[in-house]
Structure 1
Amino acid sequence: MLFKNQKATYMAYPSELASTLNQDAAQKSKQWLSKWPLLSPNATPLWSMKGTAHALGIKSLWIKDESKRSQLGSFKALGAPNALIKLILKHFPAFEADKILLGAYREQLANFAVVSATDGNHGRALAAASQSSGCPCTIVIHAQVSKEREDAIAAYDATMVRIAGNYDESVEEADRIAKENGWTVVSDTSYEGYTEIPRDVMQGYGVMAAEIVEQLEDNQKKPTHIILQGGVGGLAAGVFSYFWEHYGVERPIFVIVEPSQADCLYQSAIQGKPASATGSVDSIMAGLACGETSQIAWRFLQPSVDYFALIEDQDAIDSMLQLAQGYHEDTPIVGGESGVAGLALLRKLVEQDQLDVLELNANSEVLIINTEGATAPELFKELTGLTAEEVIAKQ
């Protein structure tokens, strides 16, 4: 299913949006995070998938590979740590930003507790950043979060709280715990009265966009289309805003893809305002299994995203297998369930002979982001027949 957003515009990046997310702040985040030992000091790879592009009938396909960002395995390693740094600086303005995640202020932060809800990757990143800085951290997970993902978060000394409900109910529980204890919620989704920290999470995602622009322009390239995962909208807002500011009226076509059962952004586009998902929200694409649109993210998405699209779980599974096996003689990639959504949409459109509905053709140059690797290793092996280590060995 596809929805063309009639409210998408091609204008210079609005100043009212630039006051919230901008390239300069993304570069500052990049500088702060570059000192954290848990992150690679180098930009993640931008793979040119020539064989797949030919098979799809487009000119170029680039995949930004966030499985290589850190041992945390996903792009979330940029968002939560950036927000935590900003939060700590707000309360301790004398601290030096690039020393916070080095543990330089561990004693002063021993009682500075944070809490968040998660489907897995955001909570893991926050737990790791909290452990590095010395902040106590509590993570709330819901019924669909696997034991494997729970253990991966707990490994960073987080206190785990599991509830019986879904993701949105875990967000409510995290907020309740924070108010009860006087702690601070560090969430990647915004709601009424809570926008500052989600903004800082989104700003961290701009680091990826900054790297991509540099990597492409070094080769005198520019994407015609960028396809990103949905979720609550923070990833897309953080990345699309950077490209919009950079290219202005000549920005690429922006596309968002979600699981059909977690279609909150798709529904928001139809209704013209932040809306809720209409399905069960339970998807194998765990990081995208979100029921409520981030209000602050929607401010950026409504005027910029040209198309909203939906895929099925099987589409993602098939694409995981393609990347892991290195179809079409391309580089094998460790693409997690949520990481392959962009490729899954392209494959689905080709199968249905509908590339043209996204204005895609033989001259199109498409950028997608593999947002996660094997963040659930056992599930990855079950779905692809390979371990992450076996895929990496073939690279």
Structure 2
Amino acid sequence: MFFANPKATRQPYPEALRTIMSVEKANESRQWLAQWSRLNASATPLYELPDLAAELGVAQILLKDESQRSVLGSFKALGAPIALVRLILRTFPEQRFLPRDLLEGKHADALAGFTVISATDGNHGRALAAAAQSIGCQCHIVLHANVSIEREEAIAAYGATIVRITGNYDESVEAAAALAAAHDWIVVSDTSYEGYEVIPRDVMQGYGTISAEVLEALQADAPVTHVFLQGGVGGLAAGIASYLWEQYGERRPVFVVVEPKQADCLYQSAVEGRAAKATGSVDSVMAGLACGETSPLAWRFLEPCVDFFMTIEDDEAVTAMRRLAAGSARDIPLVAGESGVAGLAGLMHVIAAQGVAADLGIDTDSRVLVVNTEGATAPGVYAELLGESAVVVQQRQEAWTTAVGEN
């Protein structure tokens, strides 16, 4: 399904939005994140995929690979630690903590009784648990019924206390809020709701790092014309799009948001003209995007700048995973998880659909940016979907890199 957003505008980044999220704050967050030992020191790669671009009939496809952001395996490593650091700075202003000292665990004794909690589909919870462990505070993570044991174990490995519920993601969000109220803990969520926006804002602000690195990598090159972004509750899309919008103003790229068909809350929000709920079962192989309710805060940014909303089937995501894993003579083989490929799967869908590419202004001159938001964060699921393990794909990547280096 496709929906052309009638409220998308071509104007400079509004001051009302800049007071909430800005390039300035995103860059400050990036400086703080650079001091966390669990993030890789260098920017994540921005790969060009010329063979895939030729297959799809566009000038260029650029893929920002967040699977290589850290040992945590996803872009979520940019959001949770920043939100937790900013939360602690606001909660204990008299202590005059420094972000670097917090992330190095220098105030672990003082924060041993401080407790945070969050619901998650996997990656946000893992990043929050890792940040809490580094800082030295307590962390509880609420998991819904569809979160795999593999993902649970990956979160628990960072010392978090796991709480299991029988419902879906949205019910896990409610459970986390109830536990926080009962125990005087603080929710560190990547989705907003009425009366709860400051922490989700900080999470989204961290994602601006992705946009900053893309712009630095492009330097004098012409800007991209289209950006395909994953949906979920909207935080990633808002964090990336707001940064690019502020930088380029009315010359911003065309933004396209992609969601699973059964978890179409952003699509429905565009149709209804307000933050809305999904109409499907929400259960999707794209676990990180299996969200039923739009973040109202994220929607404030997405409604005026996302040009098109679309949905894809689960099997389209698997097809995109296989294409990236296979690589080609000129395209490096890549490990991309089920949610990580949604943007690319959306682009492939658009090209295959009769006449849709033209509606989106995609042609042989288009330069398209997609973000691989995760690697094989659930290695067993990855291997089951592709019929080969992430280790095999990584070996193929190494062989490709060696061969290219020799030529």
- Cα distance, 1:75 vs structure 2: 0.2
The answer for the alignment partner of 2:35 in structure 1 is 35
The answer for the alignment partner of 2:316 in structure 1 is 315
1:122 aligned partner, one-letter code: H
- Cα distance, 1:351 vs structure 2: 2.3
Distance in 1, matches of 2:307 and 2:347, equals: 16
The answer for the alignment partner of 1:279 in structure 2 is 280
The answer for the alignment partner of 2:298 in structure 1 is 297
Deviations along 1:256-294, one digit per CA (max 9) or x if unpaired, are: 000000000000000000000000000000000000000
The answer for the alignment partner of 1:247 in structure 2 is 248
1:90 aligned partner, one-letter code: R
8 A Cα contact 1:43 1:211, kept in partner = yes
8 A Cα contact 1:264 1:278, kept in partner = yes
The secondary structure found in structure 2 opposite 1:306 is strand
- Cα distance, 1:311 vs structure 2: 0.1
1:269 aligned partner, one-letter code: A
The answer for the alignment partner of 2:92 in structure 1 is 92
Equivalent residue runs for 1:345-356 within 5 Å: 345-353=346-354, 354-356=356-358
1:199 aligned partner, one-letter code: R
- Cα distance, 1:391 vs structure 2: 1.9
Deviations along 1:316-372, one digit per CA (max 9) or x if unpaired, are: 001101101114641111100000011111222222233212210000000000000
Distance in 2, matches of 1:387 and 1:373, equals: 12
Distance in 2, matches of 1:212 and 1:391, equals: 25
The answer for the alignment partner of 1:68 in structure 2 is 68
Distance in 1, matches of 2:328 and 2:292, equals: 33
Distance in 2, matches of 1:265 and 1:274, equals: 7
The answer for the alignment partner of 2:224 in structure 1 is 223
The answer for the alignment partner of 2:368 in structure 1 is 366
8 A Cα contact 1:61 1:366, kept in partner = yes
The answer for the alignment partner of 2:148 in structure 1 is 146
8 A Cα contact 2:228 2:256, kept in partner = yes
2:173 aligned partner, one-letter code: V
Equivalent residue runs for 1:5-44 within 5 Å: 5-44=5-44
- Cα distance, 1:81 vs structure 2: 0.6
Deviations along 1:46-99, one digit per CA (max 9) or x if unpaired, are: 000111001000000000000000010000000011100100111223000122
The answer for the alignment partner of 1:50 in structure 2 is 50
1:22 aligned partner, one-letter code: S
1:73 aligned partner, one-letter code: G
Q: Which runs of 5+ in 2 are unaligned?
A: 398-407
8 A Cα contact 2:228 2:347, kept in partner = no
Distance in 1, matches of 2:351 and 2:365, equals: 15
The answer for the alignment partner of 1:189 in structure 2 is 191
Distance in 2, matches of 1:253 and 1:174, equals: 36
The secondary structure found in structure 2 opposite 1:43 is coil
1:166 aligns with 2:168: yes
The secondary structure found in structure 2 opposite 1:197 is helix
- Aligned match of 1:382 in 381, 384, 389? 384
The secondary structure found in structure 1 opposite 2:258 is strand
The answer for the alignment partner of 1:106 in structure 2 is 108
8 A Cα contact 1:52 1:328, kept in partner = no
The answer for the alignment partner of 1:324 in structure 2 is 325
Deviations along 1:18-65, one digit per CA (max 9) or x if unpaired, are: 001111111111111111111000000000011100100000000000
8 A Cα contact 2:116 2:185, kept in partner = yes
Q: Which runs of 5+ in 1 are unaligned?
A: none
The secondary structure found in structure 1 opposite 2:306 is coil
The secondary structure found in structure 1 opposite 2:309 is strand
8 A Cα contact 1:55 1:328, kept in partner = no
The secondary structure found in structure 1 opposite 2:81 is helix
Provide the TM-score with structure 2 as the length reference: 0.95
2:338 aligned partner, one-letter code: E
Deviations along 1:208-266, one digit per CA (max 9) or x if unpaired, are: 1111111112x523100011000000001000000000001100001100000000000
Give the 3 Å change call, closer, same or farther, for CA 328–165 of structure 1 in structure 2. Answer: farther
- Aligned match of 1:211 in 210, 213, 219? 213
Deviations along 1:129-156, one digit per CA (max 9) or x if unpaired, are: 0000001000000000010111110100
